[in-house]
Structure 1
Amino acid sequence: MRERDDPEVIGRRVQRLRTQRGLTQRQLAEPAYTPAYISTLEAGRARASDEALRHIADRLGVAFEELAVGRPAHLATGLRLRLTEAQRVLADGRAEEAATQYAVLRAEAEAHGLGCEQAAALLGLGECALETGRLGEAREFFEQAEERLAGKTLPERVPALRGRAVAHYLAGELRYAVYLLESALDELNRGGLHDPDALLLLYASVIGPYMDMGAHARAAQAAEFALALAPQAGDPALIARMHRSVARTLLAEGRVAEADASLAKAAELYRQLQLRTELANCHWMRGYVCAQNGELDRAEAELRQAHSMLSETRAALYRSQAAVELADVLHRRGKSQEAAGLLEGVLGDFSSERGAVHAAAAHRLLGIIAEDARDTEAAEEHYVRALSILERAGAAGDLADLCRLLGDLLRRTGRTEAALDAYRTGLGHRTAPGTTTLGPAPAQPPL
């Protein structure tokens, strides 16, 4: 952020404003200074003190800031209000409209040297890019926000760092996402930087990658810390996100009623805050919980609602991920044709670099549907593609089950050696639960 413009720039600014107001140099100078001093200042040959600039600003009827750096009065306040409005547009599910607003605000903040507001606009652009599935752009925006906040404390940098980690996670880079989040947690906890909001944001964000990597013990511990931190946190949207993440660990531990209650709390907060995309994601998660608990009719209703809401908000990647969960429930309810059609419709939205875990899930389900239709060739192709994606992403949580499916298929088609290889691969992932993260667990928060 600029402290003061050069004397020549300030001199031209003083002369322009004085002329606009029809004042002479004597009128501007009196009673504290001389016309000669004003003349020297306007020519850029003198560096005015803060006291002199405040006198001149008062005579000209402008803010000190406007003379010193050319920033109109109340610009920062106005920008912050408009940033809040853009955030509201994004929360309503209008990511593209919000991105346009954030881009304008970023340019204005940059032009006037407002570093914090520029970082906030970059964070908004990153969130918009995440919602619309442009993961490369999202990563760049979050990296730029981190650069603007380089001189700030770690708690202030956490939202940008967390955004970058989520972009890597959605791109299938699970290990690196966990590394970023764990490193920040370790630094916060070891350094005594006990910021409840920053810690809660990191713990809520690391649960998903932990679960997909098969590190269920780490996920459960992160959920435990998040729940303990929640009463100290001040952001209700953050608390709602935490409840949504924690539900996944509760479900993995068989605590279905608690998972459902956690999601009910999240949904209520999202409704109060009118966060449309987050509310849709909450319906999606409730559908997932119901499906795991065998309540397939309720699961289908929740997932259809989530898919419909995400389609309206144009949250492309999230919509496609919800479609995979819905297709799984439809298949289990005997609606395999509809499920296959839904999967074929969204498969193009995924790749090993974009929604990797759900890309693999889509191929796995299409393989199962193909097997049911006795098309073993297509089934094997889908299983192999799913296996490749999961291995590249390090998503050990689903690899063992997929290897079993592939092994069974190979055995039924007479390829015993290949089937044994598949089973061995699956057993290798099954024998080391919770050991897939990088290094020791991060330091614990001082609860």
Structure 2
Amino acid sequence: MAAVRSPMVADVGARIRSLRTAKGLTQAQLAEPNYTKAYISMLESGRTRASMKALEHIAATLGVKPADLLGGQAAPAAPQYALVEARRLMEQGRGPDAIVVLEQLEDGLTPRDQLVRLRYLGGAYNMAGQPKQAFPVVERAQRMADLLGDDEEKVRVKSVLAACYMRTYAYEDSVRLNREVVQACDEGVVNDPGFHFRRLVDLALGLSNLRQPKQALAVYERAMEISAQFEDRAYLASMYQGIAKTYHDTGDVEAAINYNQKSLQLFEELGLLDQVACALDSAAGLYVEYGNITRARETLARAARLAEEAKRDGTLASIKASQAEVLAKNDPDAAMEEAQNALKFARKVDQVDAQVRMLVLIGEIRMKTNGAAARRSFQEARQLAEER
């Protein structure tokens, strides 16, 4: 019998075996359809090191995350585990940190793990608000998936491309690709309930952005049915946030507030400060719709404190924009100064969404006294949005 390669490899194998037996699965069932019973046996006995692809497959079948297979221990000096660390950082919303890990990881990877690295790197760039850097990386991943003939990876890479389109406001392209991804999941090309769930949420969000709320809510219902099969509270919270936005678009502010509160509660329980700040930002807009300006201001003040604590300048720029928009409801003159300050900050941190919003608000305020200046502001907002 081959010797165990390292204590860490043996520990990962033992954890796979423990999770498999707790789930009531045989080695053959865990292996299907991509691997063999013999391969799972070698993993569990520590006689071989799992590839990143294998870790993703095993984690999906067991209903856990790849990082859970490591048991929270420090990753060993192996490129596959660096990939797991990068994925963990991305699950925490730490795209820039994941980029650092992935860019340093060039050597020691098999072709298939190199493909996973490219997929993660494209997703990390997009998460960090750098879709222009993400697109060429995703294109490389697509070519590599084609060369390897890996149908599952083709689907996973396509989902990253859809996310990049979403980030650049190409909602129709994003929806088209996510429909193809969801169909592939329905057909069993990717057997990963967590991935299936997340892509349904992405599809629903895209439909909502295209002002198709009925279709979006129907897709969210499918996502909720699948969510019972695994534990991903962070993405569940994101789904509730998306549902809140969809109900808001339909004019059902009460339902929107209800789902926003569900989202906020989960994010708070998970200690995700940036997401809590974002949820509070959204909640403030709903309170404005409900006519409660005072509560909206209080909510935004709390959101700003959390964004500063989390050191998320992009989120803070959005909150500052919201504060200016709320102030404009009652005091346009004071709102002008607030909007100009928010625009300055958004430019400093390169938050395009907030810049567009403030240019539009400044144009609306100026329209009463200086139509020419207002039109220039609107034109700049339009040009900025198109460039984005």
Query: Do both share a fold (TM > 0.5)?
Result: yes
Asked whether 1:318 is paired with 2:253, we answer no
CA distance in 1, matches of 2:96, 2:19: 23
SS across alignment from 1:65? coil
Is 2:325–2:335's contact at 8 Å kept on the other side of the alignment? no
Give the letter for the 2:109 counterpart. A
Residues 330, 336 of structure 1: 8 Å contact kept: yes
Q: Give 2:100's aligned residue.
A: 140
TM-superposed deviation, 1:341: 1.6
- 2:111 maps to 152
- Alpha carbons 1:204, 1:246 under 8 Å: kept: no
Task: Summarize the Cα distance change of 1:164–1:328 in structure 2 as closer, same or farther, 3 Å threshold.
Answer: farther
Report the number of matched residues.
346
Deviations 1:170-194 (A, max 9, x none): 43323223443344235434x3634
Q: Does 1:65 align with 2:3?
A: yes
1:380·1:409 contact (CA, 8 Å) conserved in 2? no
- 1:77 equivalent among 13, 17, 32: 13
Aligned to 1:372: 329
For residues 364 and 198 of structure 2, what CA distance do their matches in structure 1 show? 39
Of the three residues 165, 172, 194, the one matched with 2:129 is 172
Preserved contact between residue 360 and residue 387 of structure 1 (Cα < 8 Å): no
Preserved contact between residue 122 and residue 142 of structure 1 (Cα < 8 Å): no
Query: % of aligned pairs identical?
Result: 15
Counterpart of 2:44?
none
Question: The residue matched to 1:233 in structure 2 has which SS?
Answer: coil
Question: Aligned partners of 2:8 and 2:179: how far apart in 1?
Answer: 48
Contact 2:87 2:98 (C-alpha < 8 Å) held by counterparts: no
Q: What is aligned with 1:285? A: 242
Indicate if the aligned counterparts of 1:174 and 1:393 stay in contact, CA closer than 8 A. no
Q: Of the candidates 158, 175, 181, which is equivalent to residue 220 of structure 1?
A: 175
Amino acid at match of 2:179: E
* Change in 2 beyond 3 A, CA 1:369/1:73: closer
**CA-atom RMSD, angstroms?**
3.8
1:21 alignment partner in structure 2: none
1:301–1:205 CA distance, 2 compared to 1 (3 A)? farther
Relative distance call for 1:213 and 1:73 in structure 2 (3 A) is closer
Residues 352-371 of structure 1, C-alpha deviations (whole Å, 9 max, x = no match) = 99473x44432232111111
- 1:406 lines up with 2:362 in the alignment: yes
Hey, what's the Cα distance between the residues in 2 that align with 1:79 and 1:260? Answer: 38
Q: CA deviation at 1:134?
A: 4.3
8 Å Cα contact 1:174/1:395 also seen in 2: no
CA contact (8 A) 2:64 2:230 kept: no
- The answer as to whether partners of 1:126 and 1:141 remain within 8 angstroms in 2 is no
Partner Cα separation in structure 1 for residue 321 and residue 116 of structure 2: 34
Length-normalised TM-score, structure 2: 0.74
Aligned to 1:302: 259
1:236 maps onto 2:193 in alignment: yes
Secondary structure at 1:377's aligned position in 2?
helix
Using a 3 Å threshold, how does the CA distance of structure 1 residues 400 and 202 change in structure 2: closer, same or farther? Answer: same
Partners of 1:105 and 1:82 in 2: how far apart? 20
Please, what TM-score do these two structures have when normalized by structure 1? 0.65
Q: Give per-residue Cα distances to partners, 1:303-344, cap 9 Å, x unaligned.
A: 101101110011222222222222211211112222222222
Q: How far 1:203 moved relative to its partner? A: 3.1
* Preserved contact between residue 125 and residue 141 of structure 1 (Cα < 8 Å): no
In the TM superposition, residue 399 of structure 1 has moved relative to its aligned partner by 5.9
Corresponding residue number in structure 1 for 2:290:
333
Match of 2:151 in 1: 195
Is this contact kept in 1: 2:134–2:164, CA < 8 A?
yes
Q: Is the 8 A contact 2:321 2:357 kept in 1?
A: no
> Aligned-pair distance for 1:163?
3.9
Aligned partners of 2:110 and 2:337: how far apart in 1? 53
The C-alpha deviation readout for 1:374-427, integer Å capped at 9, x for no partner, is 15334443355347637975747x765543322121333x45554232122123
Q: CA, structure 1 residues 401+385, in 2 after alignment: closer, same or farther (shift >3 Å)?
A: closer
**Judging changes above 3 Å, is the alpha-carbon distance between structure 1 residues 277 and 79 closer, same or farther for their aligned structure 2 residues?**
same
Q: Quote the Cα distance in structure 2 between the aligned partners of 1:267 and 1:355.
A: 32
Q: Does 1:427 align with 2:382?
A: yes
Task: Show the counterpart of 1:58.
Answer: none
Which whole-Å CA distance do the structure 2 matches of 1:240 and 1:264 have between them?
11
Distance 1:81 1:319, change over 3 A: farther
Task: Quote how far apart the aligned CAs of 1:82 are.
Answer: 8.4
> Hey, what does 1:256 align to over in structure 2?
213
* CA contact 2:227–2:236 (8 Å) conserved in 1: yes
Distance 1:134 1:254 in 2: 30
Are residues 79 and 253 of structure 1, via their aligned partners in 2, closer, same or farther at CA, if it must alter by over 3 Å?
Answer: same
CA change 1:166–1:207 in 2 (3 A) is same
Distance 1:421 1:260 in 2: 38
In the alignment, is the contact (CA less than 8 A) between 1:310 and 1:316 conserved in 2?
yes
Cα distance per residue 1:261-312 (max 9 Å; x no partner): 2112222222221222221221111111111221111110001011011100
Report the CA distance shift for 1:390/1:301 in structure 2 as closer, same or farther (over 3 A). farther
